[in-house]
Amino acid sequence: MLKYRFHIVLLLFSILLVNNNSFSTPNTQTKSYFVQNKGQVIDQHHKPNEDVRYLLNANSALNVSLRKKGFSYDIFTKEEDST
């Protein structure tokens, strides 16, 4: 069952990346891909997070971390400073 869940999640993220218009304006689209963690991912204590195997940053709105035992994701928006 875990194998199928992983494939379903991977399919959903693939669909999300293909339809990345929802995360960017038409003229600012960039390609998104997973990058292998070679020590550049750090934890809240500024130490390398070796649990993260691959990281995806999709158009400044989505982060996906593929870990040794699962995955995690962050969805966020940037707000401009009004001052």
The string of pLDDT tens digits covering residues 8-24 is 777 677 766 655 555 55
- Residue 56, pLDDT above cutoff 70: yes
Q: Starting at the edge strand that comes first in sequence, how are the strands of the sheet with 34-36 ordered? A: 34-36, 52-58, 62-67, 70-75
CA dihedral 11, 37, 44, 75 (to 10 degrees): -20
Query: What's the sign of the alpha-carbon dihedral 18, 12, 23, 62?
Result: negative
Question: Mapping DSSP to helix (H, G, I), strand (E, B) and coil, where does residue 28 land?
Answer: helix
| Cβ contact 50:38 at 8 Å | no
Of 24-33, 56-65, 68-77, least confident by mean pLDDT is 24-33
State what percent of residues in the chain have pLDDT above 90: 24
What is the band of 51 on the pLDDT scale with cuts at 50, 70, 90? Answer: very high
